[in-house]
Amino acid sequence: MAIVLFGGAWPVTKAALANATPMWFAMGRAGLAAVACAVLLAALGRLHLPKRRDLPSVFALGLLQLGAFFILAHAALMIVQAGRTAIISAVVTYWLIPLSVLVLGEKVPAHRWVAAGLGLAGVAALTGPWGVDWSSMDQVLGHLMLMAAALFWTLAIVTTRKWPPPTPVFELLPWCFGLATLLILPFALVLEPSGGIFGPAWPYMLYIGLIVAPIGTWCVIEVGRRLPGAVASVAFLLVPAFGVLVSTLWLNEPIGWDMAVGGTLIVLSVILASRP
């Protein structure tokens, strides 16, 4: 579920940004998700304030995985192709495995290090760094922003694993998305004073805000919390692979040998990482 929703989210967002500005779209995404989660939990009788022991996860998820990630990734999407955005922003492998070892003390078997290497090789093929104009400051900045977005996502995963919340994560999502909305708001007001979400972008906004953000985020958080760091980081590589496929078929972004090789390496890495 997370692969389909998150992998397809960036091409949809790229299409929406033809009639929306990135910070306002990011804020709408977080705000709509907060409302959707709150309404659903209220209907189920499960809407309540977080407990004290939930707060590390609420702040990490709300400010890092959602707020900071959305700000950086949506801004970069105006510069970088949707397929590249899906890849680089979701590649937590280069952050999650070392942090899992250093901070969480996880033992990573040799075959999972190999799987991570295969996955990163697949990402390198899909990203095609040789196809980037590295003399363009905009291109360099866009790629650095995406790597930083992946780092913030990884820090949130490590936090929820080190201090797991006693409350089910889905019940924390309204507060997480609410924090993200408050974080993004000043960026939207300062950077895009005349921006907004305009007519043709609203169907995309409703899909991303009401379906992809709450359901996809919940799935991704649970994967990050419950699977070993090496397995989770490699599994996340299926998200950008799907994103590249959607970008190629829908937005007509270029396809070539890199997609075939990169996709194959990523699938092989996931199969290898899933071995006990």
Write the DSSP symbol of residue 251: S
Q: 29-33, 167-171, 219-223: lowest mean pLDDT where? A: 219-223
Show me where the domains of the chain are located. Answer: 2-273
Q: How much is the pLDDT for 9? A: 75
List, as own/partner pairs, every contact residues 231-234 make where C-beta atoms lie below 8 angstroms and the sequence separation is at least 24, other chains included.
231/112, 231/273, 231/274, 232/92, 232/96, 232/157, 233/92, 233/93, 233/96, 233/97, 233/100, 233/116, 233/119, 234/93, 234/112, 234/115, 234/116, 234/119, 234/269, 234/270, 234/272, 234/273
In this prediction, residue 45 carries a pLDDT of: 94
Give the tokens for residue 127. Answer: 């990203």
- Highest-confidence range of 32-41, 75-84, 124-133, 241-250, by mean pLDDT? 32-41
Least confident span in 16-20, 123-127, 183-187: 123-127
- Taking residues 56-68, report their average pLDDT: 95
Supply 183's token pair: 């974080």
Query: Residue 94 and residue 105: Cα distance in Å, rounded?
Result: 17
Residue 231, pLDDT above cutoff 70: no
- Eight-class DSSP state of 199: G
Find out whether 20 and 171 touch, Cβ atoms under 8 Å.
no
Q: Is 252 left (phi over 0), alpha (psi -120 to 50) or beta?
A: left
* Mean pLDDT over the full length of the chain: 80
pLDDT digits (tens, 9 = 90+) for 167-211: 988 899 999 999 999 999 999 999 999 999 999 999 999 999 998
Given a contact cutoff of 8 angstroms between Cβ atoms, the answer to whether 86 and 202 are in contact is no
Confidence of residue 268 (pLDDT cuts 50, 70, 90): confident
Instruction: Give which of 166, 168, 175 is closest to 38, Cα–Cα.
Output: 175
List the beta bridge partners of residue 197. 20
User: Is the confidence at residue 50, as pLDDT, over 90?
Assistant: yes
Answer yes or no: are the C-beta atoms of 265 and 115 closer than 8 Å: no
Please compute the mean of the pLDDT values over residues 25-34 and round it to a whole number. Answer: 94
Q: What is d(CA 174, CA 176) in angstroms, rounded to the nearest whole number? A: 6
Confidence bin at 144 (pLDDT 50/70/90)? confident
pLDDT per residue as tens digits for the range 63-97: 998 999 999 988 887 777 655 666 666 666 567 67
Mean pLDDT (whole number) for 150-155: 87
Show the CA angle centred on residue 224, arms to residues 156 and 160, nearest 5°. 40
Q: How far apart are CA 38 and CA 29, in angstroms?
A: 14
